[in-house]
Structure 1
């Protein structure tokens, strides 16, 4: 009978030790998870605070006043295929970053006007219909002007007047 009692006592002692080691594992795992969460929060806070100064610098650089270079009014015949003549009258302003770009564009102005004339004469009235047509026109003129004034760049093309008649 003592053999049974000894084994029961040993079994209950092992269960107590197993329960204590299980609690230790839970505490260690919980501590590791808590430490990971704290590190992730600290990294997120550092990222937000650390990049805030860069964002402020970019905002200050973008806050500079743009300069506008006005092109002369351009009037061209549209391609009609032999029908009644149709005309396009367009007045454009170029948005550039600084005055240095304006001084680089001015000597290249004949090249810009030539590129515009060649493109605009091939347009049809249907090419300019709706906001999508005007947007395509704007994008194509922007591409052509940046090719004509390279190494200067134009940031945006602004339509002051578009008249199709």
Structure 2
């Protein structure tokens, strides 16, 4: 080849024409599938929808705010906890009557908590489970179904 002749440029028109034709064919095919009704069963989810059962009745009993002092490496830190107990509506008064015992159990447990337990990412869920178990031991099985934490501050 002679270096004085410019290199032959390839036309970019052929890939563009192929792309437009391919898009037209695919678009026409998609239109036909949808318009003819071949795709009617693909998006019909009404038959597959599961029936959601209504929630069983429940009530909430508020736990008085708890504030405890935690000691870690000579530093004093404060933990403030507030929450609610989820109970059966018929058990709300019985659970309220033993609230002093519940408060005692929660205070005792929270005072024994280490700062490292609170710094762990899964620490709050573990503490929640431990507190719920202790409350259930005080109230008896079946009285309290869940413990909801509404405030948990460490300062």
Pairwise TM-score range, normalised by the shorter structure: 0.5 to 0.7
What residue is the counterpart of 2:76 in the other structure?
85
- The structure in which a higher percent of residues are strand is 2
Listed as ranges, the gaps of 5+ residues in structure 1 are: 1-55
What residue is the counterpart of 2:63 in the other structure?
71
- Is 1:133 the counterpart of 2:119? The answer is no
Q: RMSD in angstroms over aligned alpha carbons?
A: 2.1
Q: TM-score, normalised by structure 2?
A: 0.62
- The structure in which a higher percent of residues are helix is 1
Runs of 4 or more consecutive aligned structure 1 residues displaced over 3 Å after TM superposition: none
What residue is the counterpart of 2:53 in the other structure?
59
Listed as ranges, the gaps of 5+ residues in structure 2 are: 1-50
SS in 2 for 1:86: strand
Q: Considering only CA atoms, is the larger Rg found in Structure 1 or Structure 2?
A: 1
Query: Paired residues, what number?
Result: 106
Alignment counterpart, residue 149 of structure 1, candidates 134, 139, 148? 139
SS in 1 for 2:64: coil
SS in 1 for 2:83: strand
What residue is the counterpart of 1:95 in the other structure?
86
Q: TM-score, normalised by structure 1?
A: 0.58
